[in-house]
Structure formats: C-alpha cells, structure tokens
Structure 1
C-alpha cells in the first residue's frame, strides 16, 4: 500500500518540481487558498499559538500574521518538492550563505560542528550548505517518515549533494561512532521540537511560556567537545533566503550546563519576535505548558 501511494503521488510531485518558478509559485498560491480557506488546516492551532505568545497583539494583527504564515508555509512545502529537481546553481542562488568563511575557520579546529536550527524560514533548502566544498561531511538529523518510499525520497534528495540523513533515534549513536572513528562532520539539528513528557528533563521559558525542551545538542556538544553554531535564516523575498552562522560556543566542555540550549532558544526567539510569520505555528509547541514539571526535571533560568 505504501508503494502504491508513493507511485500515485510522486509523478505529480516531479511535475510540480520542474515547473518554472513563476508557475511554481502560482501553484503555491492555489495550495494556500485550499489549505487556508477551504481545508482550514490547523487554523485553530495556529490562532491559539499566536494569541498565546503575543497576548498584546490585536485580533487584526494576529490575523495578518496568520495569513502571512500560511502563505510562507505553502511556499516552503512546495520548495521541498522543488528540491527533487532544482539545479545546484539555482539552489546556491536562492539560499545564500553570508559568512561561509566562519564555518571554514571552525573546520580548521578539527572538531565536529553542531548547527542548531529552528523551524524558521527555510530549513528545507539547508542542503545548499553541501554545495560549497566544505572539509567536513554534512549530516542532517531528522524524524523518519512512516512511508518508507517517501523516507527514501528524502534521503535521495539529500544524497544528490553528498549529504547524509540520520534518524533522531540513531543520531547519538552515529555521532559517537563517527567521533570514535575520526570522522568529523557538520551536524544540522532542528532543536525546537517538543519532547515527550516522560523524556523531558529540562524546561525553559520559550516566548514567555515555560515548556520542555530537548537537551540532546547541549549534552552531545559538551561530552564530545563539539563546536556549536546557530543557523540564522532570513527570507529576503519569495523563494530567496539568506543564511548567517552565529556562534554559540567554541568551548563546549567549559560551558555550564544548559548554556547551549538557552542561547539557542534566545537566538530563535529574537527571529520569531522580529518576523513571526516565518515560524512554523502549526506545531503544538506549547502543548505541555500547563503540565506539572516532574521532580526529576530542571528549570533553565
């Protein structure tokens, strides 16, 4: 059944991916109309999240952010499809990196690098990073897709540019094995997801609301002495993004507990407050806000 679904959908995805950009974004406009006005995909969740983190904004301001977000979300979804066939030249033009020399300087330190990212702007075109002749191999940590055919498609897309995807369940083991075998890498991690309550050991105020947070990047970096940077991505205009690496730490083993997590969250917050329409508001990021914090958990101040 999984194969049948894939082979029914894939030809359409491929056809969309090869459309010239004006027609491509016309399709995105159509998808926006269907998703926002007809289907109403998670509109209640989005409105609730926006009102929760922006209590001082008026209803009209919330509605404006909401519509802009849905337009961006549809663009980003289509851009993921565009990755099937986009050329290297086009991808580099549309996802520019402003300070690649900083990453190259970090690579000279011969320590693996964690690139912390949020669900902000474009995280689908981050594989453009692999097109710049970097010294280290690039790895992306991701949540495995249930349909194994679409999961393989995601791997194939990253593989076009010599990148490797690692599932969240195998990430720690793979990174440690690479470290033990002398394999240095750039590890991109989207680090703002909401962990399950039974695994939540750290809580932090995110956009003014206390929620559980993943500690994996922080723990790994300090244990394995990895450099840590934040990927600050801005949407300059439709279909064009600008990425800048911002330092978090070059001395992870000397940092206090939770320093890395806290700095990442604060950098992400700054972007969300500046242009909230580019954050992924459909995720139930604050769903555990009213849950009692377990006795074994720690609050990051």
Structure 2
C-alpha cells in the first residue's frame, strides 16, 4: 500500500494495523465468511444505526410494507458487511483482479471527453462499492485518475484508508484543494471523481429537489465547477452484479461545451435522477446508515 502523508499516531494502533493488514491478505472467499459474522453483529447485536436505517427506508419507500422494510434493512446490513471486507481487500488486491471484478462496459464515454484535453468531473455516490470507483478507475485510466476526499480526523485511520485508496495509483485531492487542483490541471485530460450525495449544511451550497419522495439537499459544486472550467461531467453508476463483482457504467451529464446558466443546477438535477434510478433498482446497496436527510428545507 502507498504511504500517506505521515501524521504520527499512537503506538497502540500498531496491533490493529497488523491485524487489518493480515486480514487483507486473506482470499475474498474467506473474507466473506468474516463478513457473515460482521452482518450478525451489526444487524442483531449492535443493531448499528438501526433507527436511522429504518427511518431512511420507510421515508424512501412509502409504498413498501413494514415486513418488506425490515427485510430490506437486513439485506442492507449484509451488503454493508461485505462492503467492509471488500474495502479492506484493497490492501492486497492486484490491478488485474480488480479489473476483473469491476467491469466498465462503456469506457469510450470517458475517452471521448478526455480527448478534449481538459479535466472531466466524475460524480459518484454511496451506492454499490464506492471505494472501488477511484481504485478501479486508476486501473483503467492510469495516472489520469484523481479523487476528492475528506481527510479523516483520526491519524491512524487517515493513514490506513489513504493507502487503501491509492494502492492502484490514484491520486487523492483534499476537498479544500479541489479548486486549486482544477486550476493547476485545467489543460490536462484528467478525471476528478467526487461523491456527490453528501448532505450539505451551508445554504449557499444546497440545491433542493424531490428525491426518493423527500425534499433533499445536494451539493452544487459540480454545477459551479463545470460552469467555471467548462469541464464535462459524467455520472458513475456502480452496480453489483454478484458477490464481489460490479459494473461501472458511465453516463454523460454535460459535454463541457453547451452554455450553462450561471446559477443553474441542471447537472446536479441530472445526477439526482440517475442516482434515484440506481437506488430504486438495487435498494439494499445504498448507504442507508448515513444521515442523508438530517437537514430540512427552510420554507418562508
């Protein structure tokens, strides 16, 4: 794994690092047995964020019965447990295996936009296995793959997760440096990926739209960056095909040439519609434990 920018962390994290590194070297078939244990602990022992999960599911799928919601919650916990070991496996997975496990059926969508010679924004979400997006993208694109991330407060986990995310060659860009990064690389054919389904707290960063039967706030960064840098935007759909195998399909949201209204949100709206379709197609594969709707729209 690549070394992250070093921040000292206490010695007592070393045994945890050795344990996690050792687990990463196990075959995925064995790690999925570990995931079965994680599932039981989260779903029935700790009941990890159970209230948040059930509330999110009930509000997002009002047409489902309570029995269906409970079943869907269990499916989510099983997916989440498998996701954890898949992320851990990044510490030892080869580029060849990752390319086998993440199939990109239409890379020509990205190649066409990269040929224009400037940056391309790739908008992902917390659906499927989002941690494999940037790592698999680096396998497909080589050194042209960058990812925006929010550094973790804990120095050990910041170091460990950074190495997981960059072991296939991807470069990480701290969220605060996004604008500076685009200015520096504005004439280079590079892909900058962002997870765009976070919950923005500042009013000047919010775009509200109906999403999964709820008024939902989205970050407006993609609209602003695309308008400022005239960079194309693609939506990255990562769908699980079967255990440990995903399809990463690209959808062009903006060509980088059409005029955009200064304060418009057509890119964010298009992103929300694509994501909504993906979630409805595979509802258990979204991150329902995330407090996606913690902010409410203020109506005057």
For the criterion TM > 0.5, the same-fold answer is: yes
In structure 1, the gaps of 5 or more residues are 296-301
The corresponding residue for 2:138 is 130
Q: TM-score, normalised by structure 2?
A: 0.91
* Map of 1:251 onto structure 2: 256
CA shift for structure 1 position 292: 1.5
Does structure 1 residue 288 correspond to structure 2 residue 291? no
Count of matched residue positions in the alignment of Structure 1 and Structure 2: 290
Whether 1:209 and 2:214 are equivalent positions in the alignment is: yes
Please give the secondary structure, in 1, of the residue aligned with 2:208. strand
Q: Is the 8 A contact 1:222 1:252 kept in 2?
A: no
Matches within 5 A, 1:27-46: 27-46=34-53
Match of 1:2 among 5, 9, 13: 9
CA distance in 1, matches of 2:275, 2:289: 17
Q: Is the 1:221–1:253 contact (alpha carbons within 8 Å) kept by the matching residues of 2? A: no
1:67 and 2:74 matched: yes
The separation in 2 between residues aligned to 1:22 and 1:157, in whole angstroms, is 19
1:19-168 correspondence to structure 2 within 5 Å: 19-126=26-133, 127-134=135-142, 137-168=144-175
Distance 2:88 2:77 in 1: 17
Residues 203 and 161 from structure 1, CA distance in 2 versus in 1: closer, same or farther, beyond 3 angstroms? same
1:125 partner SS = helix
How far apart are 1:163 and its partner, in Å? 1.0
In the TM superposition, residue 241 of structure 1 has moved relative to its aligned partner by 0.5
Query: Do the aligned residues in 2 keep the contact of 1:194 with 1:213 (CA within 8 Å)?
Result: yes
**How has the CA–CA distance of structure 1 residues 116 and 262 changed in structure 2, closer, same or farther, with 3 Å as cutoff?**
same
| TM-score, structure 1 normalization | 0.91
Q: CA deviation at 1:91?
A: 0.8
> Which ranges of structure 2 fall in alignment gaps of 5 or more residues?
1-7
**Superposition deviation, residue 19 in structure 1:** 1.0
Residue of structure 2 in register with 1:298 after alignment: none
Residues 218-277 of structure 1, C-alpha deviation per residue, up to 9 Å, x if partnerless?
110111010100111110011110111111010355134101000000000001111110
Query: Cα deviations across residues 162-212 of structure 1 (Å, max 9, x unaligned)?
Result: 211112122122222322xx3432011000100114544421212121122
Deviation, 1:3, is: 2.8
SS of alignment partner, residue 30 of structure 2: helix
| Secondary structure of residue in 2 paired with 1:78 | helix
Alignment partner of 2:176: what SS? coil
Coordinate RMSD, CA, aligned: 1.8
Maintained 8 Å contact 1:155/1:164: no
Q: Deviations over 1:138-180 (max 9, x none)?
A: 111111111223222333233322211112122122222322x
Against the structure 1 CA distance between its residues 19 and 166, is the aligned structure 2 distance closer, same or farther, given a 3 Å change threshold? same
Q: Secondary structure at the match of 1:254?
A: coil
Q: Label 1:275 to 1:90 Cα distance change in 2 as closer, same or farther (>3 A).
A: same
Partners of 1:6 and 1:150 within 8 A in 2:
no
